[in-house]
Structure formats: C-alpha cells, structure tokens
Amino acid sequence: MDFKVLYDKAHDAGMAAAKDAVPAPMFINGYAPVMDGVCGFAWVHFKGNTAFGRWAKKVGVAKKAYPTGLMIWVGDFNQSMDRKAAYAGAFATVLRAEGVDAYARSRMD
C-alpha cells in the first residue's frame, strides 16, 4: 500500500469535512459571538507498531501520543474545535476504510 497516497486521501477528506463543518457559535457576555465555536484541539490516534504508523513517524507526519501509540495533530482551522474535530473524524474514517485502526480525538480548551 502506498501510504503517501492514503495520507493524501485522508487529508483531502479531512479538509472537505472541516470546510463543510458548521460550528455552533460561542457566546460570551459582553463580547461579539465567536462564529468558529468553542476553542479546542483535535488529533488522529493510531498504533505506532503498524506499517502505517512506522511510515507516518518516519516521514514526520506523526508524533508520539500519550500514553501509547502515535498521533497526527490537527493544527489548522485557528482555534475551532468543531472544524478540527470534523477534520480528524474524516481523516480517521479514511484510514479505517483502508484497514488502519485509527480514531479521532478532541478536547475543548
């Protein structure tokens, strides 16, 4: 399997999902609404002892995850947790469809 092609396919799916995401605006008393929604983080988590994991670490697209495995960090989309989570979800879905045991993770800041 060509992991670069798989990665690019997953990235394209993630970008499309993030673009199509409609975050729920965040409202804070005394401030204008934040249309990108709540602030947060997202990443794609997968095992490091697989062919895809070894490739992803070797080419620098993945780094160690806590407490085990590897992750691909979602650094785009400013602070929007909703857009980052949409990207991670679509990315992980493409990986799983090709047999990579991957999961999207996110948390609010």
pTM value is 0.95
Please give the pLDDT value at position 56.
98
Q: Provide the pLDDT for residue 9.
A: 98
Q: Domain tally for the chain?
A: 1
Q: Output the tens digit of pLDDT for each of the chain's 109 residues.
A: 899 999 999 999 999 999 999 999 999 999 999 999 999 999 999 999 999 999 999 999 999 999 999 999 999 999 999 999 999 999 999 999 999 999 999 999 9
Nearest to 78 by CA among 26, 32, 40, 46: 40
Give the integer Cα–Cα distance in Å for 53 and 100.
9
Instruction: Quote the tokens at residue 27.
Output: 């409202």
pLDDT given for residue 61 in this prediction: 98
Q: What is the pLDDT of residue 1?
A: 83
Query: What is the Cα–Cα distance from 54 to 44, expressed in whole angstroms?
Result: 15
Q: Tokens for 101, please give them.
A: 């045991």
**Residue range of the domain that includes 51:** 3-108
Parallel, antiparallel, or unpaired: how do β-strands 40-46 and 102-108 relate? antiparallel
